Amino acid sequence: MAIVPALHRETVSGDPPEAVWPWPDDSSDCHCLTLRYSPHHETGANITPALPAQLLRAVPKRKAEFLAGRKCAAEAIRRLTGHAFFPGMGEDRAPIWPEGVVGAISHSSDRAIALAGSGSRFLGIGIDIEKRLTEEEARDIASQALTAHELHSLGNIVDPFMTGLIFSAKESLFKALYPTVKRLFFFEAAELSAYDADGSGSLRLTADLSGDWLEGTEISFRFGHFEGLLLTRILLPQ
């Protein structure tokens, strides 16, 4: 497991992303990079491309997280292909990855993370990073992200960890599948079907999302922790 060094600076304009792999499997097929940033200040211009038009009037926090996430993605792509590339933003606000690369980006509080892999190896990649939930936050999220069946399987007890895990896994699922199914879908489109203490889990689709992704399909995910944050990941093989 890679350890993310602690950063103590107010901004990250000169700091490179750090490699991290908080899962117990091999990391040779893709690259995961993370970066701490100030949510109140834009990162330095020397590390970023121009902001997309959609974000020119965004608040500083949104600009900072976008730029930090793209910096992580560019380094992941460089390690994968030998050439750094800042993913753009499509009309649907999803990242635009270079040909032959698939990946995903996530942010939480003051941390950005990106995961990229080869398009010849993976159909899709999803990643999500979340802070630990309070009981109040868990209740609010559970009412939106958990199905009635999931709540019942948990004994109708809203547990902050399980709520965060299910929410994060479904966020990763959306990022992994959206580029393939080309349609929006929501939390009720999948349910947690299994998980274990070793960091493995599975989601089961509860609806047909496309001709290839049908109700009942099982999709595995991994989860881990670093610096007090929950991290989930989905790799869809070709």
Scan for tokens 């709540």, then name that residue.
151
CA distances from 67 to 64, 91, 126, 221 (A): 5, 17, 19, 27
Torsion of CA 132, 133, 134, 140, to 10 degrees: 170
Query: Is there a binding annotation on residue 152?
Result: no
CA distance 175 to 190: 13
Query: Is there a binding annotation on residue 130?
Result: yes
> Quick one: which of 175, 95, 164 has its CA closest to 130?
164
CA distances from 100 to 77, 80, 118, 181, 232 (A): 10, 10, 6, 18, 23
Query: Is there a binding annotation on residue 225?
Result: no
Query: Is there a binding annotation on residue 106?
Result: yes
Please answer whether residues 207 and 214 qualify as being in contact, where contact means their C-beta atoms are separated by less than 8 angstroms: no
Torsion of CA 210, 213, 215, 216, to 10 degrees: 180
Scan for tokens 């500083």, then name that residue.
60
Query: Is there a binding annotation on residue 159?
Result: no
Query: Is there a binding annotation on residue 57?
Result: no
> Alpha helix locations (H) across 155-215?
160-181
Residue 226, CB-side half-sphere exposure with 13 Å CA sphere: 23
Query: Is there a binding annotation on residue 107?
Result: yes
Binding residues: 62, 70, 106-107, 128-130, 171, 175
- State the binding site for CoA: 62, 70, 106-107, 128, 171, 175
Binding-site residue ranges for Mg(2+)? 128-130
